[in-house]
Structure 1
Amino acid sequence: MANFLEKFNELNTRDVSEHVDKKQGLSYLSWAYVQQELTKADPNYTEKIIEFPSPDATNENIFLPYLKTDEGYMVCVELTVFSVTKREWLPVLDYRNKSLAKGSATTFDINKATKRCMVKCAAKFGLGNYLYLGEDGPEQPFESASESELKDVDNKVKELAPLMDITETQLKKKMNIGNKLSSADAEEALVRLDNGIQYYKTNKKDDK
Structure 2
Amino acid sequence: MAEKTNKEEKKSIYTKLSQIDVKPYLSKKMGLNYLSWAKAWGLVKAIYPNSQKEITKYPEYLPINGEWKSTGRTVDYCLTPFGCEVEVTVEIEGNKYSSNLYVMNHRNQAVRNLKELDMGQINKTQQRCLVKALAYAGLGLDVYAGEDLPSDESTTATKPKPRKVESLSQRIAKAKQFEVQYGGGKEKLVDVCKWEAQGDEQAKAFLDNWRTKSKGNEAAYNFIKDQGLQKESA
Question: Residue 162 of structure 1 aligns with which residue?
Answer: none
Percent of counterpart pairs with the same letter?
A: 29
Structure 1 residue 6: deviation in Å? 2.2
What do the CA deviations read for 1:44-90 (whole angstroms, capped 9, x no partner)? 11100001111137652x21111101111100001111210121100
Please identify, of 51-60 and 20-29, the stretch whose mean Cα deviation from structure 2 is larger.
Answer: 51-60
Question: Residue 86 of structure 2 aligns with which residue?
Answer: 75
| 2:37 partner letter | W
Question: Residue 133 of structure 2 aligns with which residue?
Answer: 121
Equivalent pairs, count? 136
| 1:10 partner letter | K
Give the conservation status (yes or no) of the 8 Å contact 1:49–1:76: yes
Question: Residue 32 of structure 2 aligns with which residue?
Answer: 26
Question: Residue 23 of structure 2 aligns with which residue?
Answer: 17
Q: TM-score, normalised by structure 1?
A: 0.61
Give the conservation status (yes or no) of the 8 Å contact 2:59–2:70: no
Question: Residue 61 of structure 2 aligns with which residue?
Answer: 55
Q: How does 1:1-208 map to 2 (within 5 A)?
A: 1-56=7-62, 59-60=71-72, 62-103=73-114, 104-134=116-146
Give the conservation status (yes or no) of the 8 Å contact 1:73–1:102: no
- Separation in 1, partners of 2:108, 2:101: 11
Larger fraction in strand: 2
Give the conservation status (yes or no) of the 8 Å contact 2:51–2:93: yes
| 1:112 partner letter | K
| 1:50 partner letter | T
CA RMSD of aligned residues (A): 2.0
Structure 1 residue 18: deviation in Å? 1.7
Unaligned ranges ≥5, structure 2? 1-6, 63-68, 150-234
- Separation in 1, partners of 2:58, 2:70: 14
Paired residue secondary structure (2:111)? coil
Structure 1 residues 58 and 130: alpha-carbon distance in aligned structure 2, compared to 1, 3 A threshold: closer
Structure 1 residues 52 and 102: alpha-carbon distance in aligned structure 2, compared to 1, 3 A threshold: farther
| 1:98 partner letter | Q
- Separation in 2, partners of 1:59, 1:105: 18
- Separation in 2, partners of 1:132, 1:107: 26
Unaligned ranges ≥5, structure 1? 138-208
Give the conservation status (yes or no) of the 8 Å contact 2:17–2:44: no
